[in-house]
Structure 1
Amino acid sequence: MNQSSDTDRSGQPECFSRHGGGHKATPGVHFTVSVVLPAGGTGERTGLVTPKQFCTFLNRPLISYTIQAFERLSWIQHIVVVVAEESSALMRDIVQRFQHTKVRVVSGGATRHRSIFNGVQALDTGESGATPDVVIIHDAVRPFVEEDFLLEIAMAAKENGASGAIRPLVSTVIATSSEGYLDHSLERGKYRASEMPQGFLYHVIYQAYQKCSEFDFDFGTECLHLALQHAGTKAKLIEGPPTLWKVTYKRDLAAVESIIKETLCGSACVTFDGSERSRDLGRCLQKVMGSFDMEVDVLPELIGDASCLSREWNFIQLCVNGSGLSEVEETVKSLQAANRALLHPVVVVWVRLDTSDGMSVSETGAGPLLLMELASAAKLHNILLYGIHFLLSEEDTGFSDGSVKRLAELTYTLIHDRNAVLAGQMLHA
């Protein structure tokens, strides 16, 4: 069923890791669960030529983020992605490039329900007992679904036959007359918006689709209603978190990128060259960047520590006077070897603390050129390398709050924005 080889990706951050990567098997899930992701939409409401599920964020398409939200969970068995026939080759390329190992790509139908049924049928391999106990159906353009809520949906589906996410209505629903006048309004407190994900016992959703009419296939929009109408199964409704929102309009694309960046800049590792000044600067950065809600660890070195490279970290390397680029180069090579930047860019910030009164290597020598060459090579592997020159007079015995704050703000901005254009630049704090 897999479209790509099971390449080791243990070095990925936990929030985007391969199945199991940091997540223990969930107690209580003693049944099989698979997922159907309908992804055949054209994205007309975004006004873009590219369907929104294939729009890229940090060099990675949206559909890949949604897949990873499920694939990282040990209790999810298979994921069927249903796409338009003309997008099949593109989707298989995405699966291979980002090493999604639980995914099968199938072609969709002319309507959403025909596509979902194709996905449900694809989970039946014809082998006895091979179908999953529970099927979760989810929109390909809802990438931020959380494990706790998925677990609620799966457990409720196993117990009740069907389950679905709901959210409170934010606007009053009104009915209009044929002439365009207000006819009546609904009492908002009695109604909820139906959302995804939705869960079903396999035989319930399969039976519902088998009994669907052509009208259901062409005009139906609600899987839960089909389960009620054709399988007699009442769904358990569970209020979901705000993160279930769906990418619908062009403005939503900017929100997706912002959320992804916020997720990726939550932690960093500061390493220093063993000197007392770089160690003290690292501790000052740890304190200030902590006020930005970034968790910062300070270590004397990184090279050779595989566990450090696998952590959900960005990397800040401090050195005094000497170039320190050889250590940075070793870090970059280690990140490449660990395949750490497969799913998103990893940031490495080289901070050169300069205590000389004259012109420094970072200003006039080979430092900037070597940094740019190293950054250009690193960028090919999705690693973004930046340099910061932090000048301190030899007479200064400590670091002023203002100077450390400027350095921390610049470093945080580089980690948050992940601007590829600035990679290789020597900035000044």
Structure 2
Amino acid sequence: MEPGPPGSSRPTEPGPCLSSQQGADQAASASLQSAAGAQPGRHSLAVAAVLPAGGCGERMGVPTPKQFCPILERPLISYTLQALERVYWIKDIVVAVTGENMEVMKSIIQKYQHKRISLVEAGVTRHRSIFNGLKALAEDQLNCKLSKPEIVIVHDAVRPFVEEDTLLKVVTAAKKHGAAGAIRPLVSTVISPSADGCLDHSLERARHRASEMPQAFLFDVIYEAYQQCSDYDLEFGTECLQLALKYCCTKAKLVEGSPDLWKVTYKRDLYAVESIIKEKISQEICVVTDIEEDNKYVSHLLEEVLKSELNHVKVTSEALCHAGRDLQQIILDQCYNFVCVNVMTSDFQETQKLLSMLEESNLSILYPVVVVSVHFLDFKLVPPSQKMESLMLIREFAKEVKKRNIWLCGLLISYPQNSTEVVCY
């Protein structure tokens, strides 16, 4: 299935929550209170999530299980955890992984600073892994940090682009109906072959839908279904909604999902995920200058050029000379691309200030940050060779910050004053 672009609303970009979500939190909390029939001031629903992540990825055709395949040098499952973690009202996230991958998963959680994650051992099948996750939430053990939720979300570890709006829809529907799941229209017609390999019959595509993730359940409904289901279901079943219907007579409410709910299945899907992520983090560029607002002519020209050439990208500009409050907010809002224009100073100090701010923010933990350091030089006053030598420091600095996932490059613009001739290095 060809992936669609991420939704137009702000993506649920995960991990350490870098920006203020107070308004979004209040809106989501109000929706959950409404779903629970709560009065204003009462607590919202207790929601947890279970991610089966014990698969070996046979269809992927690579030695590494697909949930651990690197995307921009970061494991795929980390992006999925990030998306769920960003949703503040999901209190616990239980991940089922095989014993041999338990330490790998722990290192991922530590490296990318994931929160509210608990690990359980996966079963030999998808359903057994989900059941293990549910049992971890159901068991009220001494010193156990998990508590039984009212609603549980089941999601795939290899569906990284789930958004809060979809999660909220299935949770709200599950509260009312007992179970709910995201669906999408079928892309191809489903046919049934006969024993001899010939067409037996086909299904009317308009009447059927593809079952996707996430799915949500009243915890007692899905837990009871798993407790009752047969070994055959646990070994060969794939559909959680069917278990709720078969063993608890609970008809799931089907919720139309967005195009980005597709599942990473084949090797080519990894390239699609990388492309989508790159597109998402390249939607904004911040031009940072070392001069006062009244004298921002050079950076203003650069900003206008970028806007005209990259009309699909949001371009903003900020001065680094003040306390940097506006710039800090841009960093908190997760802008990953910066152009630092050095006009008043010919050295590297202003770019170093920006890099220090980026390092302190931990922004590059999740995605690579790109910084272009621009320097202007009147070559009638200073020979380019002399200036280039003084700016070689940028090479060593670039090696250091690359270790922290910040990609630094330099641009030296050499020109004589009162001339239209410009030379770039």
Normalised-by-shorter TM-score class: 0.7 to 0.9
**Counterpart among 316, 326, 335 of residue 297 in structure 1:** 316
Range with greater deviation from structure 2 (234-243 or 352-361):
352-361
Q: Distance in 1 between matches of 2:141 and 2:45?
A: 17
Residue 360 (structure 1) aligns with: 384
Q: Distance in 1 between matches of 2:323 and 2:399?
A: 23
Q: Distance in 2 between matches of 1:178 and 1:48?
A: 32
Residue 90 (structure 2) aligns with: 76
Q: Distance in 2 between matches of 1:19 and 1:300?
A: 25
TM-score by length of 1: 0.85
Contact 1:21 1:72 survives alignment (8 Å): no
**Counterpart among 44, 49, 73 of residue 35 in structure 1:** 49
- Residue pairs, 1:159-174, within 5 angstroms: 159-174=176-191
Residue 399 (structure 2) aligns with: 376
Q: Distance in 2 between matches of 1:116 and 1:55?
A: 21
Residue 325 (structure 1) aligns with: 348
Range with greater deviation from structure 2 (273-282 or 309-318):
273-282
**Counterpart among 130, 142, 162 of residue 147 in structure 2:** 130
**Counterpart among 87, 92, 97 of residue 101 in structure 2:** 87
Residue 413 (structure 2) aligns with: 390
Identity %: 46
Residue 114 (structure 1) aligns with: 128
Q: CA deviation at 1:346?
A: 1.4
* Matched letter for residue 133 of structure 2: G
Contact 1:318 1:352 survives alignment (8 Å): yes
Q: CA deviation at 1:76?
A: 0.8
- Residue pairs, 1:161-200, within 5 angstroms: 161-200=178-217
**Counterpart among 289, 310, 315 of residue 332 in structure 2:** 310
Q: Distance in 2 between matches of 1:83 and 1:127?
A: 21
User: CA-to-partner distance for each residue in 1:249-287, whole Å, 9 max, x for gaps?
Assistant: 111101111111111111122122227998223222323
SS in 1 for 2:366: coil
Structure 2's unaligned 5+ residue stretches are: 1-10, 33-43
1:242/1:304 CA distance change after superposition, 3 Å:
same
Q: List structure 1 segments (4+ residues) > 6 angstroms apart after TM superposition.
A: 275-278
Range with greater deviation from structure 2 (328-337 or 315-324):
315-324
**Counterpart among 50, 54, 68 of residue 68 in structure 2:** 54
Structure 1's unaligned 5+ residue stretches are: 1-12, 404-426
User: CA-to-partner distance for each residue in 1:196-241, whole Å, 9 max, x for gaps?
Assistant: 1100000011000000101000111100000000011000001111
Q: Distance in 2 between matches of 1:119 and 1:303?
A: 50
User: CA-to-partner distance for each residue in 1:64-90, whole Å, 9 max, x for gaps?
Assistant: 100010101111100001111111110
* Matched letter for residue 307 of structure 1: Q
Equivalent residues, number: 389
1:318/1:20 CA distance change after superposition, 3 Å:
closer
* Matched letter for residue 377 of structure 2: D
